[in-house]
Amino acid sequence: MLLPDFGKHGQEQLKNAKVLVVGAGGLGCPVLQYLGAAGVGTIGIIDYDMVDITNLHRQVLYADDDIGKLKSLIASEKIKANNPFIKTIIYNLSLDATNAQKIISEYGIVVDCSDNFETRYLINDACVRLNKPFVYGGIHKFEGQLSVFNHQMKDGTLSPTYRCVFPEGQEQEMEINCSISGVIGILPGIIGTMQANEVIKMITGIGEVCAGKLIIYNSLYNTIVEMKIKRKT
Amino acid sequence: MKVLLFGVLIDAIGEKTIEMDTSPDANSLKENLMLKHPILRSYNFVIAINKQIDYSDMTINEGDEIALLPPFAGG
């Protein structure tokens, strides 16, 4: 709040914002933690999974005592313990074609912290239909991707979508999530924090949103590559 | 011509870069990649030329920076 260009007005914008976080895993934990701490007024949490011992190195909202409990519930408790002034809405379910549009329509911004391509395309298609922006994060071993899709740019045009970058193809062959390939625990922390940063910029209008480009971060070599992307008409 | 790989493509090929003969455009590069590394047929990826994702069979010139980008499933 003390920051220039942010102030009381920025804090009020955060309080009035409604953000949906799809997936409360490696990416979702830092996103939820920082958005809650920042004071985003309403945060939706979608996850049907339960905490497993193999999650703990990267899903840092959860403790050993939480093993076997619902992630959505524990995540909500933890971020509200940090900031009791926020409201959370818990969805203990899997986002699918029957519920995606209804749930997403309730929010201003969606954060894609999912771990499979089916959900990523589902989020994309629902957000495009509903004209909502969404913050994409994806990780593989030591690399992470970030972009803000379907975001209204300053000139009024919409930024590219997930499908503009990755048309549907052989995803089944390469759906290797962190449980299968392994991931260094810090990487989702870095990419998730970058996603939360984009959300805060989008809500408050400060800085430049990571739209129209795909960022690829490599945690082994500390490199960031920025690829230009275009909206397909 | 050096081609940079990312994500699962590094796992598939076992290298971070591969060396290819120069192709005149993105489509012919993709065909040549599949011939030299048939395993790539099983993967979804897009080609970036000089950090611009290819949408229209862009021309490739000597010295261009080529990258193959797969989506990342993990979260």
- Residue B63 within a domain: yes
- B46 contacts in chain A (CB < 8 Å): 165-167
Do the Cβ atoms of B8 and B69 come closer than 8 Å?
Answer: no
Do the Cβ atoms of A198 and A21 come closer than 8 Å?
Answer: no
- Residue B21 within a domain: yes
Fold (topology level) of A7-228: Rossmann fold (3.40.50)
- Residue B75 within a domain: no
Quick: pLDDT tens for A4-36.
778 899 999 999 999 999 999 999 999 999 999
Nearest residue of B to residue A191 by CA position? B75
On whether any CB of chain B is under 8 Å from the CB of A212, the answer is no
Nearest residue of B to residue A217 by CA position? B6
ipTM, 2 decimals?
A: 0.92
The CATH code of the domain that includes B48 is: 3.10.20.30
The span from the CA of B59 to the CA of A69, in Å, is 54
Nearest residue of A to residue B48 by CA position? A227
- A139 contacts in chain B (CB < 8 Å): 72, 74-75
Count: domains in chain B: 1
Using alpha carbons, list the distances in angstroms from residue B16 to A226, B9, B61. Answer: 17, 8, 21
The span from the CA of B50 to the CA of B59, in Å, is 11
**Residue corresponding to tokens 């945690």:** A219
Residue span of the structural domain in which B40 resides = 2-69
CA angle A179, A149, A16 (to 5 degrees): 95
Alpha helices, H only, chain A? 7-16, 28-38, 71-82, 100-104, 117-130, 162-165, 178-181, 186-204
Please list the pLDDT of chain A residue by residue as tens digits (233 residues). Answer: 678 778 899 999 999 999 999 999 999 999 999 999 999 999 999 999 999 999 999 999 999 999 999 999 999 999 999 999 999 999 999 999 999 999 999 999 999 999 999 999 999 999 999 999 999 999 999 999 999 999 999 899 999 999 999 998 756 555 666 666 778 889 999 999 999 999 999 999 999 999 999 999 999 999 999 999 999 87
- Residue B74 within a domain: no
The span from the CA of B44 to the CA of B49, in Å, is 17
- Residue B15 within a domain: yes
